[in-house]
Each structure stands twice: as structure tokens, then as C-alpha cells.
Amino acid sequence: MRKQVTLIGEGADDAGGVFDETIALMCIELEDGTLPFLLPTPNARNKCGYNTDRFVLNPGCSSKTDMDYYRFMGVMFGVAIRTTKPLSLHISPMVWKLIAGIEITMDDLEEVDSAFMQAMRGIWKLSEDITPSTFSEMIPISSYEAYNMAGQLAPVVTGGSNIPLTYSNRKEYVEKAIQFRLHELDRQALAVREGMSLVIPVPLLSLTTGASLETSVCGERELDIQILKRVAKYRDCSANDMLVKWLWDTLENFTNDEKILFLRFTSGRSRLPSRVQDVTQRLLVIKTMKNKNALPTAQTCFFHLKLPNYTSQEILAARLRYAINNCRSIDTDSYMLPRNTEGGASTSDDEY
């Protein structure tokens, strides 16, 4: 049974763009701290090592309700694969390997928490000035506990907080601590896989790598304008029109963040599939007869971009930058307002 979803306080007719925008907003909430299910990597918190711009699953989210949320996250991943509509998420390579069912190693752990691995090496191979009598003074950890992905002290074995860490058992402690960290996200990753299994045949994940899975779910992080150019079509203009040439040249010179804003402006999504053949909707560039100083508009549901016939590339670039930076929400509130034929960045239907 199909159900209609109404966004409270928002007016929009969904032909695809509202769905894409809703998913994009979900991805933002997963990473901006609104929701607790993804955390910045320990390297991000410590400002060192690799993957300082990536996220990991939260080991502290372990209740039944939390597992349901992780399953829903898995459903989102599966839908992204099935629909070839990538998600704008920045999850660490280690997590993608876990979701793919690949055993992670100490190297994977170090790529998200280099400080932890450095500390473990220091405890395993002590410097010469640390002796059994000075061990407790020099090592800041006093029991079988370690900092987890969330930066909180947790026992590395059952009852670990009551087991003293000593000079003689330090190597056993290091082995237990590393094993604890290698498996602390197993429950969360399994819940994500279970969610994916509702949409795609998860056994096929055994045939992929973590990197390939990330690409399938999230597409490429760098937006390739050539993909857009290859799927574009035109109305009241052609690929040889100077206005169109200015558009593509401007987009090629945008930063990647600006390219993503342009994609959000025209389609409601933040990523493109990595293959041209997986782009299911073609960008339609329309030359309009609006005032030449008007802002461009977009019908996100239909992937339409409407451009006034600007007199220079500089004007086009300035107007486009203003539109993509200041018109980031789909809405049809203008249905209730007099039509402005001279053009702001937002007009009717589900336009920006």
C-alpha cells in the first residue's frame, strides 16, 4: 500500500526532488550531531592521522531502539544502491569493511585512531626508564580499560575495571584492548547489514570490498561535471549556445563544494553515481525570456535549470553562485504569493 508523506510546514509536490532533498537532509542530520548514530573518528577529535573528515558508528548506541535506527540506516544504504541515488555520507573505510563483512585489522584501526595504537605500542614495548616499580606512575591507565570510539573509558574484558594493569600483564592487556577495539562496532554494523538485507541480497556483499561498497552507496565524493554534461539536454538553446558554454565553463571552475550546491539546487541530491549510465534523470537546461539580471531557477523534481539569457559569463557565474548559496530549500510557498515574473531564485511548483 502506497502512503503519501506530508512534510509539516513545507509545501512541495514530489516528483522525485522532494524525496532526494529529504534523504539529503537525513544525511546532514546523521553527521552534524543532531542524531547520535555517527561520530567523528577519534582522529578527528584528536586532530591527527588519517580520516579526520570521516565518521564511525557509535558504540554507545546499543539499545533495541538504537539497533532499529541502524537497520533503517541500512535500508537507506540499500535504497541508494537499488535506485542509484547516492547518499552524501562520509563514513570511514573501516566501517565500510565491517558492513561488507570483511575482518578489520590493526592497520584499519590505526587509520581512525592513531593515538590509541601509538599508546598500545608504547605499553607493549616500554622505554628503558620504565621499570616495574615506576610503571604505575608512568602509564596513565590503571586497569583493563581503554578509550572506545566515543572517547569514553570502557572495560576491554568483562570486569576489566576491577583488573589492575601491571608491568607483568601489560602485553595481555594490549592484546585484549586491541581485540576489544576491533570488535566494538560489530553489533551496529550487523544491524546496518540486516537493514540492507531488506532491500538488496546482502550475501552479494561478500563479493565486494569496503571501498566498492562505499562507492555503490555514496557515489564519488568529487562531483564530475562531465557526467552532468553528458546527460544534459536543452530547450530553447543548444550545446553550441554561448549561454550553455558559459554554464559548463563556470561549473568546471567551481569548487567541489559549489558543484555539490549546484546539484542540490537543481536536483535536491548531493552526489552523483560514479557511472554515467546510472544517472536515471537527465538535466534539462532551459533558456528563459526573463529579465537578463534575474536569478536562475530550478525545478528540482524534474532536474530542470532555467537560465535567463545573460550577457556575459561573469554575470551568469555571479547569479548562479548567489542562487545556489541562498536558495537551499524546496518549497511551494510562492503558490500563495503574486507571481514575480522578473525572477527571484524561487518560483512555483517545487522550484528553488
Dist. CA 310–CA 154, nearest whole Å: 61
* Sign of the four-CA dihedral 218, 223, 228, 231: negative
Q: How confident is the model at residue 276 (pLDDT cuts 50, 70, 90)?
A: confident
Residue 212 sits at φ, ψ, to 5 deg, of -65, -40
Q: How confident is the model at residue 302 (pLDDT cuts 50, 70, 90)?
A: confident
Q: Identify the pLDDT of residue 340.
A: 40
Q: Is the pLDDT of residue 339 over 60?
A: no
Q: Is the pLDDT of residue 349 over 50?
A: no
pTM of the predicted structure, to 2 decimals: 0.75
The whole-chain average pLDDT of the chain stands at 87
Q: Which of 123, 180, 118 is nearest to 146 (CA)?
A: 180
Dist. CA 42–CA 184, nearest whole Å: 14
Q: Crossing angle for the helix pair 17-31 and 64-83, nearest 10 degrees?
A: 140
Among 170-174, 260-264, 283-287, name the one with the lowest average pLDDT.
260-264
Q: Is the pLDDT of residue 338 over 80?
A: no
Q: Identify the pLDDT of residue 346.
A: 41
Instruction: Name 143's Cβ contacts closer than 8 Å, sequence gap at least 6.
Output: 155, 160, 161, 162, 163, 164, 165
Instruction: Name 212's Cβ contacts closer than 8 Å, sequence gap at least 6.
Output: none
Q: Is the pLDDT of residue 333 over 50?
A: no
Q: Identify the pLDDT of residue 335.
A: 42
Give the 3-state secondary structure percentages of the chain, helix then strand then coil, rounded to 5. 45, 10, 45
Q: Identify the pLDDT of residue 303.
A: 86
* Sign of the four-CA dihedral 293, 344, 258, 273: negative
Q: How many residues does this entry show for the chain?
A: 352
Query: Are 302 and 13 within 8 A, CB to CB?
Result: no
- Helix locations, the chain, DSSP H: 17-31, 42-46, 64-83, 93-99, 106-110, 114-124, 135-138, 170-183, 186-197, 210-218, 225-231, 242-253, 256-267, 313-326
Tens-place pLDDT, residues 203-218: 888 888 999 999 999 9
> Which of 18-22, 160-164, 256-260, 327-331 reaches the highest mean pLDDT?
160-164
Q: Is the pLDDT of residue 352 over 60?
A: no
Tens-place pLDDT, residues 175-204: 999 999 999 999 999 999 999 999 999 888
Q: How confident is the model at residue 22 (pLDDT cuts 50, 70, 90)?
A: confident
Tens-place pLDDT, residues 35-70: 999 999 999 999 999 999 999 999 999 999 999 999
Query: Are 345 and 297 within 8 A, CB to CB?
Result: yes
Q: Which residues are catalytic?
A: 301
Q: How confident is the model at residue 129 (pLDDT cuts 50, 70, 90)?
A: confident
Q: Identify the pLDDT of residue 207.
A: 86
Q: Is the pLDDT of residue 10 over 90?
A: no
Q: Identify the pLDDT of residue 337.
A: 40
